[in-house]
Structure 1
Amino acid sequence: MYSLKVPLSDERRRHQRVKVALLGRYMLSSRREYPCQTLDMSPGGLALIAPVPAQQGERVVAYLDHIGRVEGVMVRPIPNGFAMTVGATIRKRDKLAAQLTWLANRSILGLPEDRRHERVVPRNPRSMLITEDGEQHECRIIDVSLSGAAITTALQLPIGTPVTLGKTSAHVVRHFDKGIALEFTRTHDLESLHEQFG
């Protein structure tokens, strides 16, 4: 179990931390996003490996694989990152506890990842999102994989909405701050992905 050499806070006593390495992105109060990876997590807090540190008390929003959006405040620096609280309702904390239990069991049992394909950042992130009515909307691709993409857009599209990204048909599967995650209608091969998104 990963341990921080600092006095245990009430928050950390109340929730057991699970050692999980989840990839994701986080946003600081500057509104800039950076890649990150969790070291450990509980329903009340988490430790992140992060290239740009948050300031003490700064609000942080993170989007983590398998977990989704979590937000809280930075509570202390750690080597190569920081620890933050997780602000959530009791219901969301219960859900988070169940997700963390599943993730911990998955790593013990060696179960495969849910995320089927590695994500890459395209050389040219500018693209066009076409909605069902044929309207074209400029967007920026954050990352793309053989099965989907994350894009920044001002559009508020409901989950399940069919769209076309460039020439690829997809549907909305998740929302995050200033953007949406798409799942492609069919899985692509690397060649067609490079042709479309570089």
Structure 2
Amino acid sequence: MKAAATLNAPSRVERRTFQRVRVKIYGRFMLEDLSEHPCQVIDMSPGNVSFRCDRVGEPGEKVIAYIDHIGRVEGVMTRRLADGFAMTVIASERKRDKLAAQLTWLANKHELDLPEDRRHERVAPRNPLSVLQLMDGRQYQCRIIDLSLSGAAIEIDVRPAIGVQVVLGAMRGQVVRHFEDGIAIEFAVVQRPEMLDAEFNQQNA
């Protein structure tokens, strides 16, 4: 299985053509024993990624990572580092093109030191209790920490993967970030103030 997976990895020559981007983003990864561990990306290219973490597997082991702003990335561990490990990314050409675009955006964001999402003012709703629904119909009670015309941060017990489509109240969006007590959601479209006011700022009767 490991040998077959490695066939889809980029060759050494191909890997040299990928530009590594130094970023500080977080996520989690799963080893072949199905154990999950938190991690921080040190640098990344469409063909490779280096993680800082407490738990390290064995070279040649398959790894599945879920990285903030990036989403799911699969690969094979290539070597151990002093405080983590490096892995080769296994992806189609289309996936690598998408990774390159995401990494370019992240590099520019870090270079310009842009705030994470301050396009619109964030406020705390008067009625913070709401329901988050996944596309398969599952629903979870949640508490809105703050929201803006373009997204919301919510406290919730579950952690849908980055990129998963969700509905908060009546607002459709996707998960864009995890944090200690919940998740951040970006709405599919920028909302009108009166829509947010009607949805989240009415006191319960």
Structure-2 change in CA distance of 1:43 and 1:29 (3 Å): same
1:44 counterpart letter in structure 2: G
Contact 2:173–2:186, Cα closer than 8 Å, also in 1: no
Alignment correspondent of 2:49:
46
Aligned mates of 2:94, 2:186 — CA distance in 1? 31
- Taking the TM superposition and a 5 Å limit, the aligned residue runs for 1:3-14 are 9-14=12-17
2:108 counterpart of 1:102: no
Q: Which is greater in Rg? A: 2
| Per-residue deviation, 1:55 | 1.0
- Taking the TM superposition and a 5 Å limit, the aligned residue runs for 1:58-73 are 58-73=61-76
Q: How well do the aligned residues superpose, as a CA RMSD in angstroms?
A: 3.8
| Per-residue deviation, 1:162 | 5.0
Alignment correspondent of 2:127:
none
| Per-residue deviation, 1:104 | 1.0
Structure-2 change in CA distance of 1:182 and 1:65 (3 Å): closer
Which of 151, 156, 162 is the matching residue for 2:158?
A: 151
Structure-2 change in CA distance of 1:108 and 1:58 (3 Å): same
* TM-score relative to the length of structure 1: 0.60
Q: How many residues in Structure 1 have an aligned counterpart in Structure 2?
A: 149
| Per-residue deviation, 1:103 | 1.0
| Per-residue deviation, 1:12 | 3.4
* TM-score relative to the length of structure 2: 0.58
Alignment correspondent of 2:166:
160
Structure-2 change in CA distance of 1:182 and 1:76 (3 Å): same
Runs of 4+ residues over 6 Å off in structure 1: 135-139, 169-172
**What percent of counterpart residues are identical?**
44
Structure 2: segments with no counterpart, 5+ residues: 1-11, 120-130, 147-152, 177-182, 188-195, 197-205
Aligned mates of 2:46, 2:36 — CA distance in 1? 23
Which deviations, in whole Å up to 9, do the C-alpha atoms of 1:46-104 show, x marking residues without a partner? 00001100211111111111111111110101111000011111111111111111111
Aligned mates of 1:15, 1:97 — CA distance in 2? 9
Aligned mates of 2:132, 2:116 — CA distance in 1? 30
Alignment correspondent of 1:79:
82
* Partner secondary structure for residue 25 of structure 1: strand
Structure-2 change in CA distance of 1:184 and 1:159 (3 Å): closer
Which of 71, 89, 94 is the matching residue for 2:92?
A: 89
Aligned mates of 1:95, 1:115 — CA distance in 2? 24
Aligned mates of 1:145, 1:54 — CA distance in 2? 37
Alignment correspondent of 2:174:
173
Aligned mates of 2:171, 2:36 — CA distance in 1? 24
Structure-2 change in CA distance of 1:12 and 1:172 (3 Å): same
Structure 1: segments with no counterpart, 5+ residues: 1-8, 117-128, 164-168, 176-180, 187-198
Structure-2 change in CA distance of 1:136 and 1:21 (3 Å): closer
Which of 47, 56, 60 is the matching residue for 1:57?
A: 60
